[in-house]
């Protein structure tokens, strides 16, 4: 039974396999036939597409050929038109050239005719020149003959006669010029002097300021002479520490209950004075304490400088000044010129400049600003090389000050010409402030030397008999010999002496030169 089942199963399986093979071959044959049909369809489509492409290509080539021929025809027409226009232009140029050639031919003919005329004129001029030469020779002979006859009649040569006439003409011209100068000066004085004196007088009258003369030493009072030993310290260490910290000389001598501080720098001297007074009040005097006190007082001095600058600017009513410039203005409080406090001088110049500007009916603000800053360079002369004028100009340029202020600084000592009214006013105010009595103190020796220098300049001129410098060197009076100097020459002599003083001497303000010529005639009644 089992064997029959296996046989049946085997037969069934074989049958299934055979059936599957039959189906497979049938499907394969049918698929091959379908593929063949599809391939033949594709080939037919490809042939159709190729045929259509060939037709399209032929049509495109034909159209391109037609378009190219049309373009060539168009370009040919353009070239023909261009050639026609160029030919017309060439014809016009040829016409112009022909016209120019004709013009040049005519000019050449004209030049030829002119050249002939010039040649004929040169011939005539040559003839006239020869004639003039002959006449000049005849004139010279006549002139020489006339001169010889005149010399015989006058009894002098022509050179001496010329010299005598020249001297006479020069003397007459000098007298006329001197008279004219005196007349013009008198007229100018009548018109200007009264107004100028009035303006200056009003400005000086409206402003009055006490002068504080600074010195190069400061005296510190001591409670007792025992304090001197404590200031000196063991082996002098305290006094050396104070001198090194402040940069001054501390002088301790036999002066009772006093110590002298000497230094040309007022800031350092004031720092040392305040420091020493603080140390004396505190009682603790040693190098460490000295350094602390000096450092503290340096800050205090800086604050005073800043406050002094701000107070000066506020007093003048000025605005927009750079803080660094304000600080430099404050430093002027500790600077002196001929023992005149620089800040007081600058304030005085600012006040006077503003008042003079008000008298002239102009805005006084710029004049005050220029007056306050005119000596700003003196605040840095010990730190920067150069004159205080150049330093002041550089500082104000750095802080973008106005051209009027810079020109006032440059011109107040005549380093440059004044180009604005503010510069003129500042120069006048600076002269007033420096020249007023008591503003500046000088040593007797320098005062005498200045007077002697002025007198020696006047004595070098011919005809001067005596001369005297008076009014602290503000005026020099010169007495001349009347037999050697005439009235006209006296006027020129005064100007020559003044010019010589301007060239050789440096001085504030003005120096009046007065030449005195006196003639006395006496007779005796018997």
Closest CA to 343 of 368, 310, 308: 308
| Rounded distance between C-alpha atoms, residue 32 and residue 29, angstroms | 5
- 376-415 tens-digit pLDDT: 888 876 677 778 888 888 889 898 888 898 898 888 877 7
Residue 209, pLDDT score: 46
pLDDT, averaged across the chain: 80
Say if residue 163's pLDDT is above 80. Answer: no
**Residues 354, 366: Cα–Cα separation, whole Å:** 8
Query: Which has the closest alpha carbon to 273: 244, 242, 235, 316?
Result: 242
247 CB neighbour count, 10 Å cutoff:
13
DSSP 451-492: HHHHHHHHHTSTTEEEEEEETTTTEEEEEE-TTT--HHHHHH
Instruction: Quote the CA–CA distance of 248 and 218 in Å, as a whole number.
Output: 11
Locate tokens 């006239």: which residue? 128
Per this entry, what is the length of the chain?
526
- In the numeric block, which tokens belong to residue 227? 């304090």
pLDDT, tens digit, 9 for 90 and up, residues 57-75: 888 888 888 888 888 888 8
414: nearest Cα among 342, 513, 509: 509
The angle, 0 to 180 degrees and rounded to 10, between the axes of the packed helices 487-504 and 444-459 is 140
Determine whether 443 is exposed, middle or buried from the number of CB atoms within 10 Å of its CB (0-12, 13-18, 19+): exposed
> Please, what is the Cα angle at 257 between 256 and 260, to 5 degrees?
90
**CA–CA gap between residue 217 and residue 483 (Å, rounded):** 56
Say what the pLDDT of residue 165 is. 67
pLDDT for the residue 509:
66
Phi, psi at 464, each rounded to 5°? -80, 125
- Provide the Cα torsion 247, 253, 259, 263; round to 10°: -30
DSSP state of 8: H
* CA separation for the pair 472, 453 (Å, rounded): 13
Give the tens place of pLDDT for each residue, 170-212.
Answer: 777 777 777 777 777 776 666 655 555 555 555 544 444 443 3
Cα–Cα distance measured from residue 478 to residue 265, given in angstroms and rounded to the nearest whole number: 42
Q: At what angle do helices 266-282 and 287-316 cross, to 10 degrees?
A: 130
Output the CA angle 474-477-479, nearest 5 degrees. Answer: 170
pLDDT band for 508, please (50, 70, 90 cuts).
low
pTM: 0.47
Domain ranges of the chain: 45-154, 450-516
Q: What is the pLDDT of residue 156?
A: 62
| Contacts of residue 470, Cβ cutoff 8 Å, sequence gap at least 6 | 476, 477
Q: Using CA atoms, how far apart are residues 471 and 511, in angstroms rounded to an integer?
A: 10
The alpha-carbon radius of gyration of the chain (Å, integer) is 56
512-517 and 249-251: which strand pairing? Answer: unpaired
pLDDT at 441 over 50: no
CB 414 within 8 A of CB 509: no
Residue percentage of the chain with pLDDT more than 90? 0
**What is the percent of the chain with per-residue pLDDT over 70, rounded to a whole number?**
86
Average pLDDT of the segment spanning 30-40: 76
Give, for 427, the enclosing helix (H) or strand (E): helix 421-435
Report the largest interatomic distance among the alpha carbons of the chain, rounded to a whole angstrom.
216
Please give the average per-residue pLDDT across 22-40, as a whole number. 77
Residue (of 217, 220, 257, 252) closest to 233 by Cα position: 252
Of 349, 406, 400, 398, the residue nearest 372 (C-alpha): 349
Evaluate if residue 301 carries a pLDDT over 50. Answer: yes
Residue with tokens 């205090």: 300
- The CA dihedral of 204, 207, 213, 214, to the nearest 10 degrees, is -130
The Cβ of residue 245 has, within 10 Å, a number of other Cβ atoms equal to 21
The DSSP bridge partners found for residue 249 are 262
The pLDDT value recorded for residue 423 is 86
DSSP per position, 275-339 = HHHHHHHH---SHHHHHHHHHHHHHHHHHHHHHHHHHHHHHHT-----HHHHHHHHHGGG-EETT
User: What strands lie across the sheet with 249-251, from one edge to the other?
Assistant: 217-221, 258-262, 249-251
Cα 271 from chain centroid (whole Å): 37
pLDDT value at residue 2: 59
SS3 179: helix
Quote the DSSP letter at residue 507.
-
Q: Distance between CA atoms of 501 and 177, rounded to whole angstroms?
A: 23
pLDDT in tens, 254-291: 778 888 888 877 888 888 888 888 888 888 888 888 89
Q: Is the pLDDT of residue 306 over 70?
A: yes
What's the CATH number for 450-516? 3.30.70.1350
| Residue whose token pair is 């973008």 | 400
Please report the pLDDT score of residue 118 as a whole number: 85
CB 227 within 8 A of CB 274: no
């Amino acid at each position: 039974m089992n064997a029959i089942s296996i046989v049946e199963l085997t037969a069934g399986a074989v049958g299934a396999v055979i059936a599957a093979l039959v189906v497979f071959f049938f499907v394969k044959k049918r698929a091959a036939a379908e593929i063949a049909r599809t391939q033949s369809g594709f080939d037919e489509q490809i042939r159709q597409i190729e045929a259509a492409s060939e037709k399209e290509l032929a049509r495109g080539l034909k159209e391109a050929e037609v378009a190219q021929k049309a373009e060539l025809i168009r370009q040919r027409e353009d070239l023909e038109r261009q050639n026609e226009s160029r030919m017309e232009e060439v014809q016009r140029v040829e016409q112009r050239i022909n016209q120019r050639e004709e013009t040049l031919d005519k000019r050449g003919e004209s030049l030829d005719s002119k050249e002939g005329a010039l040649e004929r004129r040169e011939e005539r001029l040559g003839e006239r020149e020869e004639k003039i030469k002959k006449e000049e020779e005849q004139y010279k002979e006549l002139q020489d003959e006339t001169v010889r006859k005149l010399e015989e009649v006058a009894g002098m040569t022509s050179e001496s006669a010329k010299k005598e006439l020249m001297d006479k003409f020069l003397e007459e011209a000098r007298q006329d010029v001197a008279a004219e100068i005196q007349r013009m000066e008198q007229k100018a004085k009548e018109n200007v002097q009264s107004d100028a004196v009035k303006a200056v007088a009003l400005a000086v009258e409206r402003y009055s300021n006490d002068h504080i003369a600074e010195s190069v030493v400061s005296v510190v009072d001591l409670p007792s002479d025992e304090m001197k030993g404590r200031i000196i310290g063991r082996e002098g260490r305290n006094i050396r520490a104070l001198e090194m910290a402040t940069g001054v000389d501390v002088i301790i001598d036999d002066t009772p209950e006093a110590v002298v501080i000497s230094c040309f720098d007022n800031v350092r001297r004031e720092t040392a004075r305040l420091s020493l007074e603080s140390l004396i009040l505190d009682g603790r005097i040693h190098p460490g304490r000295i350094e602390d006190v000096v450092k503290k007082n340096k800050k205090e001095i800086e604050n005073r400088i800043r406050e002094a600058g701000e107070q000066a600017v506020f007093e003048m009513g000025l605005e927009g000044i750079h803080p660094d410039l304000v600080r430099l203005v404050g430093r002027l409080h500790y600077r002196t010129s001929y023992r005149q406090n620089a800040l007081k001088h600058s304030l005085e110049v600012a006040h006077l400049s503003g008042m003079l500007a008000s008298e002239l009916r102009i805005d006084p603000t710029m004049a005050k600003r220029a007056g306050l800053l005119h000596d700003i360079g003196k605040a840095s002369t010990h730190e920067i090389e150069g004159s205080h004028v150049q330093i002041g100009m550089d500082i104000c340029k750095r802080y973008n000050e106005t051209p009027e202020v810079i020109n006032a600084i440059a011109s107040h000592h005549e380093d440059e010409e004044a180009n604005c009214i503010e510069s003129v006013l500042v120069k006048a105010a600076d002269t007033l402030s420096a020249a007023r009595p008591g503003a500046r103190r000088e040593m007797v020796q320098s005062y005498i030397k200045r007077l002697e220098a002025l007198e020696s300049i006047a004595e070098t001129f011919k005809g001067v008999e005596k001369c005297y410098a008076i009014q602290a060197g503000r005026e020099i009076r010169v007495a001349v010999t009347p037999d050697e100097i005439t009235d006209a020459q006296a006027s020129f002599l005064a100007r020559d002496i003044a010019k010589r003083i301007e060239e050789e001497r440096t001085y504030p303000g003005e120096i009046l030169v007065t030449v005195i010529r006196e003639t006395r005639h006496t007779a005796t009644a018997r």
